[in-house]
Structure 1
Amino acid sequence: METKLLSEINKVLIKFPDYWENETLIKSKVIEDLRNYKKELIENLFSNQTIRKTYSLELANGTVFKVEDFISMLRYKNYWENSYTRYSNEIGLTSSDKYLKYNTDVVIDFPHKDCILEGGMAKEDIGKEEVYYHKVLAKEEIDIMFSPKVLTNIRKYDKNRNGEKEITEFIDTDNLILKGNNLITLNTLKDRFAGKVKLIYIDPPYNTGNDSFRYNDRFNHSTWLTFMKNRIEIARDLLTDDGSIWINIDDDESHYLKILCDETFGRHNFISNIIWKKKYSPQNDARFFSDMHDHILVYSKDKDNFKINLLPRSQEMNKRYINPDNDSRGPWKPGDLSVKTYNANTDYTITTPSGRNVNPPRGYCWRVSKGKLNEMIAENRIWFGEDGNNVPAIKRFLSEVKQGVTPTSIWDYSEVSHNQEARREILALSIENFSTPKPERLLQRIIHLGSNINDIVLDFFMGSATTAAVAMKMNRRFIGIEQMDYIETVSVPRLRKVIEGEQGGISKDVEWTGGGSFVYAELYQLNKKYMDQIQKANSDGEIENLIERVKESAFLDFKINIDKVSNKNSDFTSLSLDEKKDVLIQVLDANQLYLSYSEIDDDQYNIPDSVKQFNHSFYNKKVVKNRE
C-alpha cells in the first residue's frame, strides 16, 4: 500500500514543473504551497482517490485535508528509494511506527549545538550518519557514554626494565598513552586529571574533505563544530587555572573555531592567533593562492593566572653586546640618549670629556634631565667614545636586559621548521609512514612557551606522537589519546625509540640521550570489537555468522527492530555486502562501545584481577573486601 501511495503522490506532483530540479523533488516548495493553501495543488491532490482516502477526514458538512500529516510524510520519506534506503528506514521503526530519529528538530546557533556527537574517526565511520545525543532528552545515554571506562591491555615501556612489562598500579609520575575514542577517553581522564593539565596541543581534522590521514575528515560544517565543541569543553575542565590550549587549524574552519573557543573559554581568555609558515616553497598549481600557513589558536583557562615563558636569547642577539672599556658589569651596547618626544626641560647642551658641545638633533631632546645625566656619568653609564669626543650614548648591559625574548605571533619555518622536515623525521625512525606529522621544533616552541619541567602536556589527537615525543625530551609529563590502529605501528614505536635515545628532531638541541617511560592502555571494547569485525568481513557467509554473534552478545540499539536483520529477510539479502555491513553497524548501540568501570566486577566480562587492580589504582578507588 505504501509503495502505491508514493506512486500516486508522484503522479500528482509531476504535473508541477516548479517543484522539480532534474529528477529531485524540491520538498520545501511543496510544503510552502501547502501551508499557503495553494488551491491548484490541493485540488490535484484530492482528485486522487488514494491520496484523499489516506489524508482526509470526512465530516458531515465537508472534508478536512490533514495537511500536517501529509507534510510530515513528505519531509521525512525518501522518494524512489533503493532497497538499501528502504530497508535502513524499516529497521529504525519505534513501537508507535514513527521514525524516532525524525521526531525532534533542534536549531540554536548551529544545528546540533546542544548535542553530544560521538564523532567516530575510523574508516568504518566514513560516510555514516553521525550519532547525536541531545543533552537534555538523552541525559541517561550521555551519562553512560561519559562514565569512566575499564582500561585493559596495560603495559609499561621503560628503558631500565628491558622494554615492556605488565603493571598493576598507576602512579602520579607516569606518562600515559590511551587507545580509544577521544571524546569518551577524555571523560575517562576527568576524575584523575581534572585541573591538572598545564598545556594542551591538538591538531584536529581540518574539515577540508581532502586531508590525507585516516580520520573521517568530511564532516559538514555544523557537525564539525559540534564535534569540536564537545571535546574542547572537556579539555577546558582538564586544564590547570594557569593552563592553556593550542589548536592547530587551517583557514577552512579557523575563524569559526575562534568564535567557538571565545564561547567556550571566554573571549577575554584569548591569547593569540599564531601564524605558522608551514611550507618553504609555494604550490604553483594552486588555483588562486598557494596555501603556505596554518593558524595556532591559543587560549588560557584564566588569563589572570596565565604566564608565558620567554624564548631564549640567540647567540646573534648576544653578539651585539661588547665591552670595549672592560666594565666590571660585563658586555653592553650603546643606546640612543635622544628622543623624538620633545620636552623643552631636557633640551640642553652637553659638553663631552674632549670639550665638544653637543645638542640633540633638531626637534629632539635628551632622554633624561641634566641632573640625571650627571648621575649616570658618575656611574659610568654614559659612553662618549674611546677618545671622549662622541655624541653621548647610554650603556645598556646584557646582564640587565630581559633574559629572554617575547614571542611574536608570526612563526617562520626557519624558526620552527616545516611539514617536509616533519615527514623526514618520521622516515628517519624506520617506522610506518605517517603523512601529516608536525615537526618537533614546532612543538618544542609551544611546550617551552606554555609549560615547565614536570608539567603535564596533553594531545588528544595524538597521531604520530610528536607532542609526546617532544614532551619526553623536554622533561614534561604527557598524556596522548588516539583511536586509530596506527597507534600500534607509528605512535608507540616512535615513543619506544625516544626512550632508547633516538637522535632525530630536537634530540641534539636538548642533549637527549634516552630514558623515561610511559604506560599504554586501551579502553575495554564492547560493541567496538563487533564494529571492527563487521568492517573486516569479506563475504555474506561471514556477515551471517556475525549476525548471530551480534544478536547473542552485542548491545543493540533499542530503536532497532532486530528481526528485520536476517538472511531470511528478502530485503536484507538483496543488499550489497557493504550495505549489509553498514546496516549491521547501525544495529549496534553506539553508546555501548566500551565497558564502564562501574561494571568491572560483572562476572560476564571475566576481568583478570591484575587489570582490576590497575583500574582501581587509576581511579583512586579503595577496594573493600567482603568478610566471611
Structure 2
Amino acid sequence: MPVKYIPYTPNTVEGQAVLDNITRTQRLLRYRENNEVYNRIKRGMPYYEVETVEQVGKESENIVLRGECISACAYLKEQNIKVDLVYIDPPFASGADYAKKVHIRKNPKLAEKVAKAEAELEMEELKAFEETMYGDIWKKEDYLNWMYENLQAIKSIMSENASIYVHLDPSIGHYVKILMDEVFGEDNFRNEIIWCYKTSLRSSPKSYGKDHDNIFFYSNSEFSEIHPDKKDFPSSESTIKRWKPYADENGFVSNKHFAGSKSTIIDTTDESKGFNIFNGIPRDWWEISANVSKGNTDEVSAGKYATQKPESLLERIIKASSNKEMVVADFFGGSGVTAKVANELGRKFIHCDVGINSIQTVRDRLIAEKADFKILEVKDGVSLFRNPQQTMDKLGTLITGLQKKVEGVSKFWFGAINDSKLGVIPVYAPDLIDSKQKVLDIPTINRIINQEIQNLNITVKKIIVYYIDIDDEKELLKFIKDNNATTVEIELKDLKNLLHETVVNDEVEFSLNNVDSEYTIEIEKFVSDRLLQKIGAFNEKGNLQSLKNGKKFNPIEISEEGLELIELISLDCNNKEGKWFSSTEIKIDKLGYVITKGEKSKDFWNGKITTTEKPLRIKVRNISGDELIKDVE
C-alpha cells in the first residue's frame, strides 16, 4: 500500500477547452449503493517508500529513479524537490511494440582461441533474440487519461518559472495539446516546435512523407525566457550572402541599407535592435538528423532503444530553457539522453523510467561520463520482470489454467479459467501499464459487481479479482457483502504473491583467490532460468520455421558454464548490505570485449574480475538486465 497520497496541486486552469471523453484525476468517481449515488475523489499521487539502491561517485543532487512518473513526482514533491525544466518523450499511442535485441556474449573459457581469430569473430553473425521493452498499445481515451495524470503530477513539482517540452507525433499531439492547455493554461503555451528529420523515416511514394515530430513548449511564467545559443540559429546562407558586403566586423548592417524593401529601413542606432547577419532569431522548426550519431553506446547500438532521440535535439532544448545548476528532469527517460546532455552542460538531472533496462542503460552511460548520482527505486510492491509490459505478457502463463478470448467473456476480463465443478471462472487482473488500475477501490469493484458480471453472456458461479493494492480492504469486503446482489462468489487474490512465487533467481558459482594483496574472483558457473526459457522458446520457434521454409536454422547454444549470459560484474568492497557502492566493475559488450569505467578495450573477458580491496558482495547482471547480489564470504 502507498504510505500516503499526495494531492495534485496546483489545480488545472479553469475556462479551457476540454476533452469530454476522458476522466480527470480529480473528478468524482461515482458508484451506486442501495439505490443511492455516492461520489468519491481519488486521493492523489500514491507515495511509496523509496529505497536508495546505489551511490555512484560523490554525493550529489542528481537522481536516477526507477518508478512510474506519478510515483516519482509524489516522491519529489514529498522531498520538496523542484524541477526547472522538463522534457518528456512519452509513448505516442502508436499501436506498436518496441523490442530490444539481447546478444549472447562469447564464452570466456574460449578467450585464448577467440583472440587468435579476432578478425573472423567480428565478421561472425552475433547470436541474439528479441525481448519486448514496452508496448505502446492504447485505446485513445485510456492514453489520454494516463497522459492527463502524468501532466498533473509533473506540474505539481515544477518551479515557479519552470518550462516543459512534451515530444509527440502528429497522430496524437493535437489531443495532448488540449490537455496541456487545460493543465498548464492556454496563456502559458509558448511554441509548437516542429522537429524535421533530415531524411525521411516513413515515407511512401503514394503519400506525403511523415518526416517530423511535434514538441509542445509551455512555461509557468512569462519570465521563463529562452536563451538560445546563437550558433544553433544562424541566418540563412542567402541572407548572409546578400548582406555581407554591407556588414561591419561584428556582422551588423548599417542603417543606410534596406531590410528587404524600400519602405523598411534597418535601425542600428541601438546595436541591440540591429540586424546581425551572422545570428538569426530562433525558429520553431528544427532540421536535425534523427540518426543517433553522438554518444552511441553499446546498449543503443544493440537496438535497446530504437526510439532514442539525438543528443543535439536535447542540447538545443536544455541550453534554451535552463541555466547551469538548474534541475532538468525526464520522466520517460529511456536510454538517458536527457540526463547525459544535462550533465555535460552543467545542469542537475533527474532520470525516471519504470523499466529496469532503462535504469541500467543510463547508469552505465553516466558512469562513462564520470557523473555523480544516486539510484533510487520506488517500492510499490510489484516484482516486475523487467518492465510492466513483460510482466503483463508473463501473467497469462502464471495463472494456472487461464485461457484468453473465452466465448461470452468480454475484453474487460484478463481471461477465464475452466473449472470442472464451477464451470467458467472469469479473471480480472489490473493492467500494470496503467497506473490507475494498481489500486483496487470501491468504484472498480462496483463496476465489476453491477456492470461487468451483468454483461457476461454466460452463467458463472465465481469470479477471481487480482489486485496489487487495496484502497481499504475491510471497507471493500463490506461493500461486496452489502452490494453483491448476484449469487456469484467474488474471490480477491494478491497479484504480488503470484509474481513473487514464480520468480526464479539467477545463480552464480565463483571462487576467490588472494595473492599479494590482489583479490581475484573467477566465475565458474552462471545459471539463468529465465534466459534459458527464452532461448529455448527462440530455438523452438526457429526450428518450426525451418521446417516450414526449408531454410537451415542455427540454434543458440549455451555452454555448461553459462558465462555467455553475463553482461556486467560489480564488486562492493565498502558495504555488506544496503545501498550498493561499486568499488570496481567490468562490463562485457556484445562482441565479448571488456569495458572498464566506461572505457572500451580490445581485451576479451577471461571469466575473472580483480580488485585491490577485499570484496564483500558481488553483483552479476545477465544480458537481459536481471541482477543477482551475493555475499562473497
Indicate the structure with greater helix content. Answer: 1
Give TM-score, length-normalised by structure 1. 0.49
Give TM-score, length-normalised by structure 2. 0.49
Indicate the structure with greater strand content. Answer: 2
Bigger radius of gyration, 1 or 2? 1
